[in-house]
């Protein structure tokens, strides 16, 4: 039997041991709190008595180039529920569901939650605010936030873009310049007692915020309005899915207007399809068609493979590796100068010119003019365009490039490239933002005009512009002509591959005092009988340009005719075979010819046209340093049918073709079909009667 004394002693020792362990644990806990982890608990204690308040910053304003506000920030009320203060939840939910146009169950669930405060609907308009306020609902209050507002509504919506509910940019300049516009929120820290009262000598700290920077655009709101209005007018005349207009100052690259249809109101962007938000002038690509002939012409003139007086022939088609490429005129244009080829927009003529440039040269010009890469306009999702890889380009692809098929470009790329012709040969980076105003005491961020590179010479640019004036004067672009102004331009019509739809376009160079403007109009997916660029896009261009010139106060000059005159002067080609190549070139230029040297030799082995041939003043004479180079040169065969013998001989001599004649009178047949490309050594039989 256990001794009672030992039993008591054991129980005392057991309880003592428990107390010792508890004391040890408590002591260790105190050491942990007071010494080891003291900083964390000090921080928690501070947080219990310190309140932080966010001081929202003001988002920057977006201005056009005249100081008109395109985007501003206005105060707006946000509906806030305080669940602990709501007494009649069912009634409150019913009232709010009707006013906020939300589901009753959703509202009820939110206002009966355990949260201290809940946003029910943010940034409501003044009318709705007054309606809710008038209900005097217990536990429903309001807080003030900043709401983005676009005073001009749809005007320039594809440029300006819009923001989301948190005032962060989601599209346009609002997105691409979001870091500049957004600013930085401030912070206020205040120490309070247990009852929430501010402690007089407690902690107070203010971290200042920064309002967003103001952004100044190059856009002129008046010109922008005109551009959008002309697209709207076109919708009442033609059936098309959308359109784009760009107006650019070629001297600086400044975009004065960039319009698209369909459009949208950024104040209510959520009510529109995402298709309406799309900036087709920057995000989408299209086949430029004949408007690209401006690039082909400028490149060929710069390379010296052609001059405006060189004679080309068009039987209505041309063959390239057994592929027949037709002219828009089934009868063709016959024998014509390159100036007339441009004026008539003759595809076979441009194919011949494009193929005179070798693949490497033509491709390098296409890239130099900025196609196949982003322009750097700084708008979201800019497309690069589609240029086939160099290795995939053969003679047929090169031929179709010459008249704008087989490649895809963006409207902003095309406007920038033609601006390089308009300003004398310099490719400018398109400029949409002129300056970012960083506020008092800071240096503004200026976006100066930027020359990317020189692509052609001033001389070539001037020649190209004169050719384009003839297109408007009495070529395919006459519906774009404005009396008293020397406007040059080019039409374009591209058929969709799988549908009976067309993209029609016109791009023009417009003298406006000490600068040239480039105006591009595009109508996408036109259907119906009227679809040519000359019938649709050119009249849109004319109406818009007339309004712009009037607005800019650019006065017409009565009787202001175009300066370029095609020359009828003919010269005989001298015999230069075996001459020193440099001496031969110098002699030809003194006589008034243009010269293209083929080969790396030091003397002339052969020439084209042949000696004693009569050809136009300033036409191109090809000098070959090796006879094999001439023998391999492919020449399009003219249509000799119906010509008199002397006419046929003259054309053949100019082209460098040798004829075998059978009979007298007029040509009634030829051994090689017109439009075929043959080596210069190939002889052509003509039957005459």
Superfamily of structural domain 221-551: DD-peptidase/beta-lactamase superfamily (3.40.710.10)
pLDDT confidence of residue 47: 59
For residue 123, the tally of other CB atoms under 10 A from its CB is 18
Q: What percent of the chain clears pLDDT 70, i.e. is strictly above it? A: 90
Helix, strand, coil shares of the chain as percentages rounded to 5? 35, 25, 35
Helices 458-474 and 293-303 meet at what angle, rounded to 10? 140
Residues 462, 486: contact at Cβ < 8 Å?
no
pLDDT confidence of residue 568: 56
Q: Render pLDDT for 386-437 as a digit per residue (tens, 0 to 9).
A: 999 999 999 999 999 999 999 999 999 999 999 999 999 999 999 999 999 9
Asked if residue 551 has pLDDT above 90, the reply is yes
State the pTM of this model: 0.82
Start-to-end CA span in the chain (Å)? 154
Asked if residue 272 has pLDDT above 50, the reply is yes
Tell me which range, 45-49, 75-79, 85-89, 526-530, is most confidently predicted by mean pLDDT: 526-530
Query: Span 250-262, mean pLDDT?
Result: 97
Residues 222, 214: contact at Cβ < 8 Å?
no
pLDDT confidence of residue 283: 96
Q: Render pLDDT for 631-670 as a digit per residue (tens, 0 to 9).
A: 888 888 888 988 898 888 888 888 888 899 988 889 999 9
Higher pLDDT, 145 or 358: 358
- CATH entry, 570-688, from 1.10.3720.10, 3.30.10.20, 3.30.360.10, 3.40.50.1100: 3.30.10.20
Residues 6+ away with beta carbon under 8 Å from 484: 555, 556, 557, 558, 560
How far apart are alpha carbons 229 and 212 in whole angstroms?
32
The active-site residue out of 73, 244, 290, 345 is 290
- CATH entry, 53-217, from 3.30.70.260, 3.40.50.300, 3.90.1310.10, 1.20.1430.10: 3.90.1310.10
Determine phi and psi for 322, rounding to 5 degrees.
Answer: 70, 5
Residues 6+ away with beta carbon under 8 Å from 433: 173, 177, 215, 216, 217, 218, 378, 447
Q: Render pLDDT for 84-105 as a digit per residue (tens, 0 to 9).
A: 778 888 888 888 888 888 888 8
How far apart are alpha carbons 615 and 658 in whole angstroms?
16
pLDDT confidence of residue 632: 82
Asked if residue 566 has pLDDT above 50, the reply is no
Q: In angstroms, what is the C-alpha Rg of the chain?
A: 38
pLDDT confidence of residue 513: 85
Read off the pLDDT band of 3 (50, 70, 90): low
pLDDT confidence of residue 33: 65
Q: Render pLDDT for 213-229 as a digit per residue (tens, 0 to 9).
A: 999 999 999 999 999 99
Report the SS3 class of residue 640.
Answer: coil
Q: What is the token pair recorded at 654? A: 């100019």
Read off the pLDDT band of 564 (50, 70, 90): very low
**Catalytic residue at 290?**
yes
Q: What is the token pair recorded at 258? A: 């960039």
Residues 6+ away with beta carbon under 8 Å from 627: 605, 606
pLDDT confidence of residue 133: 84
Q: Render pLDDT for 513-547 as a digit per residue (tens, 0 to 9).
A: 889 999 999 999 998 888 889 999 999 999 999 99
């Amino acid at each position: 039997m256990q001794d009672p004394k030992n039993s008591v002693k054991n129980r005392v020792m057991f309880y003592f041991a428990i107390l010792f362990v508890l004391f040890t644990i408590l002591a260790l806990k105190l050491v942990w709190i007071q010494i080891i982890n003291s900083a964390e608990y000090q921080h928690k204690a501070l947080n219990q008595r310190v309140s932080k308040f966010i001081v929202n910053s003001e988002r920057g304003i977006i201005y056009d180039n005249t100081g008109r506000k395109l985007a501003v920030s206005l105060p707006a009320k946000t509906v806030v529920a305080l669940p602990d203060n709501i007494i009649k939840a069912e009634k409150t939910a019913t009232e709010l569901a009707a006013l906020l146009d939300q589901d009753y169950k959703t509202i009820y669930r939110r206002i009966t939650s355990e949260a201290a405060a809940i946003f029910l609907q943010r940034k409501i308009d003044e009318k709705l605010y007054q309606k809710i306020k008038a209900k005097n609902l217990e536990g429903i209050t309001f807080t003030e936030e900043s709401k983005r507002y676009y005073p001009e509504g749809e005007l320039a919506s594809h440029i300006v873009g819009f923001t989301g509910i948190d005032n962060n940019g989601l599209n346009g300049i609002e997105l691409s310049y979001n870091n500049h516009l957004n600013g930085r929120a401030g912070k206020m820290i205040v120490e309070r007692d247990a009852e929430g009262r501010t402690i007089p000598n407690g902690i107070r700290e203010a971290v200042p915020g920064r309002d967003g920077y103001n952004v100044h655009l190059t856009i002129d709101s008046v010109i922008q309005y005109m551009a959008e209005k002309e697209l709207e007018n076109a919708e009442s005349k033609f059936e098309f899915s959308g359109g784009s207009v760009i107006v650019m100052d070629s001297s600086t690259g400044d975009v004065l207007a960039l319009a698209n249809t369909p459009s949208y109101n950024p104040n209510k962007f959520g009510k529109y399809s995402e298709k309406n938000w799309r900036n087709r002038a920057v995000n989408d690509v299209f086949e430029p068609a004949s408007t690209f002939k401006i690039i082909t012409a400028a490149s060929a003139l710069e390379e010296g493979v052609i001059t405006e007086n060189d004679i080309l022939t068009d039987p209505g088609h041309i063959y390239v590796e057994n592929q027949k490429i037709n002219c828009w005129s089934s009868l063709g244009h016959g024998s014509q100068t390159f100036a007339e080829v441009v004026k008539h927009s003759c595809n076979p003529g441009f194919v011949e010119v494009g193929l005179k440039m070798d693949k490497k040269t033509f491709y390098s010009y296409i890239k130099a003019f900025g196609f196949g890469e982003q322009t750097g306009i700084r708008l979201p999702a800019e497309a690069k365009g589609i240029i086939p890889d160099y290795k995939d380009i053969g003679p047929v692809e090169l031929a179709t490039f010459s008249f704008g098929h087989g490649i895809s470009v963006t409207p902003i790329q095309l406007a920038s490239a033609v601006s390089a012709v308009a300003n004398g040969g310099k490719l400018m980076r398109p400029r949409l933002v002129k300056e970012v105003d960083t506020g008092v005491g800071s240096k503004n961020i200026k976006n100066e005009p930027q020359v990317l590179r020189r692509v052609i010479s001033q001389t070539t640019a001037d020649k190209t512009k004169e050719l384009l004036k003839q297109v408007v004067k009495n070529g395919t672009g006459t519906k774009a002509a404005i009396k008293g102004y020397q406007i040059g331009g080019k039409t374009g019509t591209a058929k969709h591959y799988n549908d009976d739809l067309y993209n029609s376009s016109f791009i023009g160079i417009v003298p406006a005092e000490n600068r040239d403007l480039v105006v591009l109009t595009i109508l996408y997916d036109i259907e119906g009988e009227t679809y040519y660029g000359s019938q649709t896009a050119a009249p849109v261009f004319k109406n818009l340009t007339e309004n712009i010139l009037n607005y800019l106060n650019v006065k017409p000059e009565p009787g202001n005719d175009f300066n370029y005159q095609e020359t009828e002067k003919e010269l005989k080609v001298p015999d230069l075979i075996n001459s020193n190549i440099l001496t031969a070139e110098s002699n030809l230029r003194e006589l008034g010819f243009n010269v293209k040297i083929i080969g790396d030799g030091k003397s002339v082995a052969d020439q084209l046209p042949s000696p004693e041939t009569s050809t136009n003043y300033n036409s191109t004479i090809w000098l070959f340093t090796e006879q094999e180079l001439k023998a391999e040169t492919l020449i399009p065969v003219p249509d000799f049918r119906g010509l008199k013998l002397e006419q046929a001989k003259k054309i053949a001599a100019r082209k460098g073709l040798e004829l075998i004649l059978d009979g007298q009178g007029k040509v009634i047949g030829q051994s090689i079909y017109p439009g075929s490309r043959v080596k210069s050594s190939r002889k052509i039989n003509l039957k005459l009667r």
